[in-house]
Chains A and B, each alone.
Chain A
């Protein structure tokens, strides 16, 4: 059993009275493990032609192997943009973003695919693809153009299906599965990709309550047993507080903060990000309440 970095680290650096004012890297575990992902003064947004539109800037974080990070924030605050920047689909507009010590933007698509696996919540018409064929997409970065699957590829596919509880579904048609099962197959595909980093974009968006909990539980398990760094963007704040090792939050002004769920939930940051005229976040119970 490898030595894990401490799972809950104090989030607020000494001397900082207002948590909202602090967006320094908060989680710096005293461990020998090197961070798998590290950002410093990162700015994210879009590039249209020569015009840059920066959505959020001064983002700092470090993600360590075995950690599940939940990324929360209101719609449009920057969650998806950050996730897509880490996925390499959008260029970093300023600052640095290193994966395993290498600047992310210097990697090409094929190299990136062996380091970062993504599950987007896009729905698609899977046609006649079987579950096995969908999971086999995870092996694409490792196979030749002729798509010959080696024994290693096949055993990774089997292992991924077992890890996600989908063993025995291999021959089923993907389109015939329930939404929860589809999400688990997508997770299996990402696991088969054998990357140190896993990005999940609202993996519970279309799921019923039991499946939502199952996916969070599965993500936590994968982080621990497979020593992956998992970044999961979600609207399920209660589940995120319960399952995540670390919380990242964007507020309505696109300000980024990171810290342990305990610290973040008591810091008032969640309320600052989400509260409306009629709903507020109750830090003690860790859930939203209607204002009386």
Chain B
């Protein structure tokens, strides 16, 4: 079977870009207050016929849109890097324990906060997730999640230096993940029901919590992470054929591996901190990208994965506000609900093609 030629790949990227832009406009139009398409465009130009529409779009929906796109692209890029680095299609931000590290940070802040004298901050963090934002509480939440994932990353980097085999690092990541979730379970078990409720709300995931002032931090982290991945795409290609192979064609294996792990942790850690543990995107988007682009070349896979990540995130965000009247569905279950069947059908069709085409 012939693989897609370069021009069809460019066409695929073009189609995905158009689809992303369409979904972006749809995302701006959808929400508890319905705003017509034309008005969305006029609001963006600053000429909305109703002033409150302009306010809703610039204060709430534009940051939410940017967050969804950054989170989608960032998690997809992180997932792709980890899957190629570990030569394992099931690897993702979660399998490194990075998400678990962020969860531990947040859980510690919420449940053990009173011991550390941070109860007030934790309390406001909870209310932040449920609607009314308090700056300090929110900052504490992001800080806790970032510190948690960074702590796990440091552990994994130290382990990665000690062990030659990359699979060992993957197993360590999984163990750290289990460790983290058991600590979280214990904290929930001994914590008050209200706090458990607040923690649960964070785990549902949300793109709505980031405000315009915080966007540069998320944007900077995602941009830096993706740039590191794009810089190392030679190494990513070579890692697919094995680390020993990579070493013999001139890749500095340990340096590249360390750089990619830092990039993945930066992406997964920052997105988890701001939006909650959205694991599905990181695993699903790269899978879908490989199937769609019919390529293993990271110069193609990275942009396609990022675009698909944005498309998944935007679709979930649009669906989450469908009930209207201020009710919002949680992002995490929605993503898996719409994403899993899509990926599954791709695999089934791919398997049939591979079988019939003798690929």
Contacts of B295 in A (CB 8 A): 128
Determine if B58 is an interface residue (Cβ-Cβ < 8 Å). no
The residue on B at minimum CB distance from A137 is: B249
In the bound complex, how far is the Cα of B250 from the Cα of A147, in angstroms?
13
Contacts of B347 in A (CB 8 A): none
Contact with A along B291-311 (1 / 0, CB 8 A): 001111101000000000000
The reply to whether B234 and A147 form a contact with Cβ atoms under 8 Å apart is: yes
The reply to whether A87 and B290 form a contact with Cβ atoms under 8 Å apart is: no
Q: Which of A122, A128, A129, A147 contacts B233 (CB 8 A)?
A: A147
A-B contacts counted at CB < 8 A amount to: 91
Determine if B211 is an interface residue (Cβ-Cβ < 8 Å). no
Determine if B252 is an interface residue (Cβ-Cβ < 8 Å). yes
Within 99-130 of A, Cβ neighbours of B (below 8 Å) are at 108-114, 116-118, 120, 122, 124-130
Q: Which of B231, B234, B250 contacts A114 (CB 8 A)?
A: B250
The reply to whether B242 and A122 form a contact with Cβ atoms under 8 Å apart is: yes
Contacts of B194 in A (CB 8 A): none
Contact with B along A119-148 (1 / 0, CB 8 A): 010101111111001000110110101010
The reply to whether B250 and A129 form a contact with Cβ atoms under 8 Å apart is: no
Determine if A263 is an interface residue (Cβ-Cβ < 8 Å). no
Contact with B along A21-45 (1 / 0, CB 8 A): 0000000000000000000000000
The residue on A at minimum CB distance from B294 is: A128
| Interface size bracket, B side | 20 to 34
The residue on B at minimum CB distance from A142 is: B250
B58 CB to closest chain A CB (Å) equals 37
Stretch at the interface among A58-66, A171-179, A229-237: A171-179
Q: Which of B244, B251, B293 contacts A140 (CB 8 A)?
A: B251
B238 CB to closest chain A CB (Å) equals 7
Residues of B within 8 A of A (CB): 1-3, 87, 231-234, 237-238, 240-242, 244-245, 247-253, 290, 293-297, 299, 358-359
Q: Give 7 nearest A-B pairs by CB, closest first.
A: A113-B250, A127-B296, A141-B250, A110-B250, A118-B248, A128-B296, A140-B249
- A127-B296, A176-B1 known; 8 new pairs, CB 8 Å cut-off, are A111-B250, A116-B248, A120-B245, A120-B248, A124-B87, A124-B241, A137-B241, A147-B237
